[in-house]
C-alpha cells in the first residue's frame, strides 16, 4: 500500500494480488532493523507521561475516505487505526516489534485448523462502540459485507472467504456469507476459506476489518464516520479540509491493555498542500505535527533547526527497476546484471532528498524473512557503481548500442529517477531514453503486455507486514495481460516454488527462510534491480515529547503515542 494516494489501476492490481494468494493455495525476525519503543499509556493505564491538550497537525493530502471500509491511503489509515479496531491488530511499537500481530477485539489470536482454511476467534467480553452500543460477533460479518458491497479497494482481500464471491455477484446486501458464522451469545466467530491463505491473519488486522455496528449503512460515511472501538473517535470530517479526533471515553473501561488509550484529548488535522508553509509553521511552533516529509530543498534547514524533534526512519517499502525479461535486451541475464552493476544508488538517494536508504535486497529490512544479502553481488549499495564491470557484461551479451526505453511518470520521484536510469544505462553501453507518461495512467500502461515496457520505475509500500505482500510482485503466477504488476514478467520456477510454498503456510516463522532464499535468488539472478527503501520522517513542534513518538512500521506516525512535554 502506497504511502501516497493510489490510482484506480493500483487498486485493481492489489485486488489481483489478493486473489493470487488464494489461488496459490496459501495466503514485517531475523535480520530486521529498527527500535522497539512502546507507548506507556495503555487501556486502564494512564501513567508515564503528560496527558491532555489539543494537538494541531498538517497533512499534505486529504485521506481518500474517513470510512474504514473504503480508506486505502496512509493518510486515512494513520487516523482510522486508532478509531476502528479489528479482531486482530498490531503492537504499538517501532521496528519489527510493531509488525507483531496481537489480539484486538478478539480475546486471542485465531485458532487455525490444520488445513489452514478455518479460523476461530472469540470477542473480548463487554466491548462497546464509542456511542455506547454493545459490540456483537455478527458485527464482524456486517463489517466484511460493507467492504464487499461498497466495491472497496480492499474487497479482494476478503474474497477467499467461502461464499464471498457469490455474495458479491448476488447483489443482496442483507444476504449471509456462508463462510462467516457468528454467535452473538458466546461472541464466537468462525471464518472458513476456500483455500489456504498464509497471510489471512494479517488481512483480519487491516483497517478494512475495523469493526463497525451491524446497522451501519452500506454507503460512504466519510462525512459522518460511524462509531468504532478505539482510543479515539472522529467528531468532524470535511473532505479536503481536515478532520478532528477526540478521546473515546468508552475505551479506557474496556480492559484492552495491549492498546494505548492515548494521551491527547483532541487531535485537529488540517489539509495544507503548501509544504513550504508546513515547514515554516512547524519550525515556528505554530503547528505540532507534520504527516509528510520536508521538501528536498529544506531538508538541511530542518535538520539544523529542528534538532531533537526531527528524525528520518526507514519504511517497509522497496524501490526498484523493473527489467522486462520478455523483451530484448533484458531477456539476457548479463544485461540485467549490468544494470545492477551500473546504477549509482547514492545518486538515486540524492534524488529523494536523502530520504532513501540504499539497499541490495528486494525485501525491506523491517520485514520478517529479510536476511541482508552480504556481500551484495553488485557491490556495496553505499559505494560507487562498478561501471567497467557493467560495460564488460554488455559487451559479452552483444548488447552494445541496444535501444532501451526507460519508463517513468510525471511525478516526483518517478520522473527524475527514470531520467537518471536512462543516463546510467547509456553510460554502460546501451542506447537508453526516458519515456514519461501521466501518473494517473502509468501503472495501467506498464502493466499492459501490449506496451512491451522494457524497463522503468517501480516501487511498493506494504499493505501489511508479511513478505507475501511483496513477493507476489515477482511470482510468475501473478503475470497478467493487463493490470499486470509483475512488470518484469519474472517467472523463475525455483523462486515461484519457494514463494508458493511459503505463501500457503500461516506459520511465518517457519517459512521466513524460504522468503529469504527467494529474495537472494531474485537479486543474484538480476530479475530486478532493487536500489533502496524509502525513508519518511518524524517532525514535531518543541511542545511535543519527541521521545514518546512512535514511527509504526505499518501506520507510520502513531497518533496515540503523541503527547505534550
Question: What does the DSSP assignment read for 274-337?
Answer: -HHHHHHHHHTTSSSEESSPPPGGGHHHHHHHTTTSEEEEE-SEEEEEEE-TTSTTTTSHHHHH
The CATH architecture that domain 317-536 belongs to is Roll (3.10)
CB neighbour burial string for 224-246, b if at least 16 within 10 angstroms, e if fewer: ebbbbbbbbbbebbeeeebbbbb
CA distance 62 to 273: 9
pLDDT of residue 49: 59
What would the CATH number be for the domain defined by 44-272+540-561? 3.40.190.10
H or E segment to which residue 508 belongs: helix 508-524
CA distance 544 to 468: 37
Q: How confident is the model at residue 1 (pLDDT cuts 50, 70, 90)?
A: low
Q: Where are the alpha helices (DSSP H) in 428-478?
A: 439-446, 468-471
Q: What is the pLDDT of residues 8-27, one digit of tens each?
A: 333 333 333 433 333 333 32
Tell me the three state secondary structure of residue 440. Answer: helix
Q: What is the pLDDT of residues 170-222, one digit of tens each?
A: 999 999 999 999 999 999 999 999 999 999 999 999 999 999 999 999 999 99
What residue ranges of the chain are covered by domains with CATH 3.40.190.10? 44-272+540-561
Average pLDDT, the chain: 91
pLDDT of residue 15: 38
User: Span 325-329, mean pLDDT?
Assistant: 98
Q: What is the pLDDT of residues 353-369, one digit of tens each?
A: 999 999 999 999 988 89
Q: Are the beta carbons of 414 and 320 closer than 8 angstroms? A: no
Nearest alpha carbon to residue 272 among 63, 65, 58: 58
What residue ranges of the chain are covered by domains with CATH 3.10.105.10? 317-536
- What cell does 59 get? 497533512
CA distance 344 to 353: 15
Q: Where are the alpha helices (DSSP H) in 430-507?
A: 439-446, 468-471, 493-503
pLDDT at residue 32 above 90? no
Amino acid at each position: 500500500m502506497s504511502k501516497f494516494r493510489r490510482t484506480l489501476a493500483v487498486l485493481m492490481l492489489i485486488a489481483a494480488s489478493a486473489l493470487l494468494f488464494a489461488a496459490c493455495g496459501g495466503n514485517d525476525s531475523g535480520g530486521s532493523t529498527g527500535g522497539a519503543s512502546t507507548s506507556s499509556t495503555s487501556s486502564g493505564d494512564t501513567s508515564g507521561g503528560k496527558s491532555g491538550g489539543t494537538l494541531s497537525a498538517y497533512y499534505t493530502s486529504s485521506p481518500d475516505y474517513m470510512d474504514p471500509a473504503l480508506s486505502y491511503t496512509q493518510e486515512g489509515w494513520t487516523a482510522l487505526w486508532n478509531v476502528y479496531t479489528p479482531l486482530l491488530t498490531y503492537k504499538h511499537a517501532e521496528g519489527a516489534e510493531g509488525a507483531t500481530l496481537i489480539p484486538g477485539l478478539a480475546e486471542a489470536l485465531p485458532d487455525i485448523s490444520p488445513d489452514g482454511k478455518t479460523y476461530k476467534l472469540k470477542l473480548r467480553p463487554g466491548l462497546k462502540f464509542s456511542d455506547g452500543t454493545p459490540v456483537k460477533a455478527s458485527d464482524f460479518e456486517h463489517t466484511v459485507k460493507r467492504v464487499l458491497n461498497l466495491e472497496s479497494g480492499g474487497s479482494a482481500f476478503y474474497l477467499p472467504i467461502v461464499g464471498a464471491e457469490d455474495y458479491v455477484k448476488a447483489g443482496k446486501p442483507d444476504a449471509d456469507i456462508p463462510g462467516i458464522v457468528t454467535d452473538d451469545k458466546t461472541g464466537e466467530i468462525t471464518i472458513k476459506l476456500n483455500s489456504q491463505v498464509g497471510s489471512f491473519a494479517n488481512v483480519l488486522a487491516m483497517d478494512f476489518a475495523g469493526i463497525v455496528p451491524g446497522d451501519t449503512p452500506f454507503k460512504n460515511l466519510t462525512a459522518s464516520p460511524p462509531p468504532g472501538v478505539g482510543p479515539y473517535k472522529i467528531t468532524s470530517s470535511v473532505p479536503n479540509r481536515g478532520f478532528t479526533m477526540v478521546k473515546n471515553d468508552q475505551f479506557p473501561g474496556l480492559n484492552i491493555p495491549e492498546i494505548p488509550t492515548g494521551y491527547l484529548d483532541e487531535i485537529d488535522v488540517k489539509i495544507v498542500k503548501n509544504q513550504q508553509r508546513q515547514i515554516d509553521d512547524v519550525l515556528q511552533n505554530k503547528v505540532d505535527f507534520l504527516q509528510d516529509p520536508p521538501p528536498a530543498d529544506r531538508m538541511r534547514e530542518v535538520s539544523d533547526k529542528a534538532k531533537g524533534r526531527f528524525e528520518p526512519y526507514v519504511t517497509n517499502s522497496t524501490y526498484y527497476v523493473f527489467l522486462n525479461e520478455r523483451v530484448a535486451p533484458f531477456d539476457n541475464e548479463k544485461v540485467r546484471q549490468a544494470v545492477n552493476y551500473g546504477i549509482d544508488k547514492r545518486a538515486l538517494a540524492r534524488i529523494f532528498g536523502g530520504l532513501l536508504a540504499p539497499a541490495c535486497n528486494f525485501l525491506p529490512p523491517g520485514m520478517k524473512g529479510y536476511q541482508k544479502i552480504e556481500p551484495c553481488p553488485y557491490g556495496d549499495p553505499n559505494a560507487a557503481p562498478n561501471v567497467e564491470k557493467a560495460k564488460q557484461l554488455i559487451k559479452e551479451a552483444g548488447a552494445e548500442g541496444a535501444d532501451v526505453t526507460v519508463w517513468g511518470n510525471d511525478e516526483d520521484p518517478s520522473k527524475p529517477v527514470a531520467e537518471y536510469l536512462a543516463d546510467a544505462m547509456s553510460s554502460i553501453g546501451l542506447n537508453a531514453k526516458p519515456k514519461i507518461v501521466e501518473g494517473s495512467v502509468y501503472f495501467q500502461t506498464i502493466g499492459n503486455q501490449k506496451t512491451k515496457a522494457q524497463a522503468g520505475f517501480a516501487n511498493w509500500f506494504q499493505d501489511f507486514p508479511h513478505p507475501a505482500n511483496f513477493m507476489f510482485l515477482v511470482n510468475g503466477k501473478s503475470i497478467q495481460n493487463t493490470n499486470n504488476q509483475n512488470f518484469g514478467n519474472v517467472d523463475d520456477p525455483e523462486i515461484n516454488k519457494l514463494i508458493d510454498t511459503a505463501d500457503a503456510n500461516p506459520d511465518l516463522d517457519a517459512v521466513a527462510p524460504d522468503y529469504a532464499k527467494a529474495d537472494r535468488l531474485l537479486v543474484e539472478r538480476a530479475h530486478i534491480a532493487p536500489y533502496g527503501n524509502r525513508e519518511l520522517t518524524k517532525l514535531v513542534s518543541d511542545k511535543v515529547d519527541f521521545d514518546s513518538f512512535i514511527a509504526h512500521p505499518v501506520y507510520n506516525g502513531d497518533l496515540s503515542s503523541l503527547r505534550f512535554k
